[in-house]
Structure 1
Amino acid sequence: MGLTIDKILVIMVIAMFVLGPDKLPMYAKKLGEFVRNIKHMADGAKDRLRDEMGPEFDEVDWKQLDPRQYDPRRIIRDALVEDEREARAAARKERVAEAAKARQERLGPAVPGELNFDEEAT
């Protein structure tokens, strides 16, 4: 979906026909100046942000904050999987607690110095 050489050439040919050969250099110069100004503004904003954040600026993973990486479907899927994972963990804890309670009921109260064991298991 990016801008390839073929697409740039097609745009240049169309621009040549629309603008004409006498105006094309002037508009190309203006486009170059516009791109340089935008780059200069972006660099200035980056420098200002670096000055305001201090050493923490270099520690930030900027690729992680790129909004293009966020897919709403993936975010929803991850949230649903996380909820399901938490539900399974809660159910597992509940089963473990029930098993411990059932074992305690089978063995009876623990007496200090005496070993408790399950007579059915031996």
Structure 2
Amino acid sequence: MSSINFSEILTIAIIVLIVFGPDRLPDLARKAGKFVARARSMIRDTEAELRSQYGESFDAIDEARKEIGAARRDITSTARRAERELRGAARDIEKGVNEPVRDPNRRPAVSEGPDTEPTRETAARAALDAAAAPVEPITFAPDASGANDATPPDLQATAPDDDTASEAT
């Protein structure tokens, strides 16, 4: 149902004033008021008559309307609660995805206390801890002749051969 705003009422009043004139306007307003009062009275009488004849049906309809309204409120509140929980879970997941990955074995560089400030000593210790990465053991692979070579596998490609080293000298 649409509502009538002030500008529409003012436009209608100006049109009525122009069409009927200022002399007939009070009489027209009185007749319109009587018509509205009669229409309301007829609606009330019709509703009362229908309720007296079909009262039980109206009561059942009213009861069903109340039950449906209560069910709708329950469903709406459950949906809102579930939405809040899902948004919270999504926020937690997003927070976890956006956080940088930290090494669980690494200890903090600076002790975490309320009045601790970083110093040169703690900064140097943190740099040493960061530089001290786990080292993989070096294994020596046998060469094609089957004899063990003292050069690690990753340096074998860059090490000069014995023949080329003696020729260069």
**Could you say which structure has the higher helix fraction?**
1
**The TM-score by the shorter chain falls in which range?**
0.3 to 0.5
